[in-house]
Amino acid sequence: MNSRDTLKINSAGHLEIGGADCTDLAKEFGTPLYVYDETHIRNMMRVYQDTIKEAYDGRGLVLYASKAFSCEAVYAIAKQEGIGIDVVSGGELYTAMQAGFPAEKICMHGNNKLKHEIEFALDRKIGTIVVDAYSEADMLDEEARKRGIVQDILLRINPGIEAHTHAYVQTATPDSKFGFSIADGTAEKMTAYLLQKKNLRLKGFHCHIGSQIFEKQSFVLAVEKNVKFMSDIKNSLGFVTESLNMGGGFGIWYTQEDAKLTVKEYKEYLLALIQTLKKECGTYGLQLPFIYIEPGRSIVGEAGITLYTVGAVKEIPGIKKYVAIDGGMFESPRYALYHSKYTALLANRANDTPTEMISIAGKCCESGDIIAANVNLPKAQTGDILAVLSTGAYHYSMASNYNRNLIPPAILVKDGKADYIVKPQSYEDLVRNDLIPERLK
């Protein structure tokens, strides 16, 4: 476990998060349950923004990548902390607007933004839109013209950095669906195209090389390639880059295979990026651009855990032992998607020594409904409270009602006080949008 002041084993031998005993949380709110540590979220937002203030004279902004976990409460925290956000859909933008988030601090992404999403973004006067297609540029320019505005944009480019991470979360490889390649000249052609648009104001460029990256060198290489491109574009088109968005992708701890980073150690990743940017801009004689970064997983990933109640325990002699929980792939889909690895422990017996290797099985009618495989646990019993760690990112966001299971609620915990931030679903919620045509009655 990557312990901290707000995630530890308490004197009762129970897992504690945000000053609250997890066994008490399970009793009060039921399981499955998403639990978020407010203090850790705020600390992660602050370390990034403070680093920009200290190392880059404040000429930059942290944008929380809200696809990791989107709800009104997390946007309210980001607003209080003075950072920005990025959104990737009309739904995320609507949620942020409902939370009263300042539109000028919102950046919108997406490789295939829909017309109504672009209209919504323009009507809400959001700060920046990242362009990722010719057709999108045309649509955006036309919709901006209709409204009599000039919209600030960034162009998503692909620097061709292959970060060492899962293939599904690499976003800057040559065959990626995202961005325009620097190597084959399409990024320069698209830059020239955007500069002709009367209702679009190109401020600079955006890139994102992938997720769950621990290698600082990957970010360093990405900066070097971006700055060279900035120099080439200045020389060929006379365009001076005002803003550079380097995306996110900072890795978090899931298992003992991952680095255990403290909040302050994330500062080193951003420092490496900033130092390289200063050095390279100096080499090419470029003005320093306003910088954006987009951490998501590293802000909420380790801040979140999921609590379950153990149900059936089934052993196949000589082969495998399954410990089944009251959740499943409907609220924890990442093992089924990526074979992602997790650490789990019995929250009510957190000091007990692990004695067996098991697989945690969900309740869905799918053989592949596994939450985590090859997990070391003490001998689990029906009724135990099982905690899966580092589930704050891409769990609630990717949850579904598969098998008509209910998506669990989420709570926010600070100083021992817990509050709902996503209320529990009900069976009535499941059928709320169902209709029976008259001919079937």
Residue 342 in tokens: 């997790």
Tell me how long the chain is: 441
User: End-to-end distance of the chain based on CA atoms, in angstroms?
Assistant: 55
How do strand 320-325 and strand 304-316 relate by DSSP bridges?
A: antiparallel
Output DSSP code: residue 421. E
State the greatest distance between any 2 C-alpha atoms of the chain, in Å, as a whole number. 74
The SS3 call for residue 316 is strand
Distance CA 76, CA 102 (A): 10
281 counts as catalytic? no
Q: CA 270, 274, 277: angle at the middle one, nearest 5?
A: 140
Output DSSP code: residue 103. G
Residue 314 in tokens: 């089934």
CA atoms within a 13 Å half-sphere pointing along the CA-CB vector of 390: 24
For residues 96 and 63, the answer to whether their CB atoms sit within 8 Å is no
CA dist 143 → 90, 112, 118, 137, 202 (Å): 16, 16, 8, 10, 16
In the block, tokens 């029976």 appear at: 436
Beta strands in 225-287 (DSSP E): 243-245
The SS3 call for residue 363 is coil
Among candidates 420, 371, 375, 372, which has minimal Cα distance to 399? Answer: 371
Annotated active-site residue in 71, 281, 364, 365:
365
Rounded-to-10 torsion of CA 67, 72, 75, 80: -170
How do strand 417-422 and strand 410-414 relate by DSSP bridges?
A: antiparallel
For residues 250 and 269, the answer to whether their CB atoms sit within 8 Å is yes
- Cβ neighbors of 189 (< 8 A, separation 6 or more) are 180
Among candidates 158, 121, 165, which has minimal Cα distance to 140? Answer: 121
Give the active site residues. Answer: 365
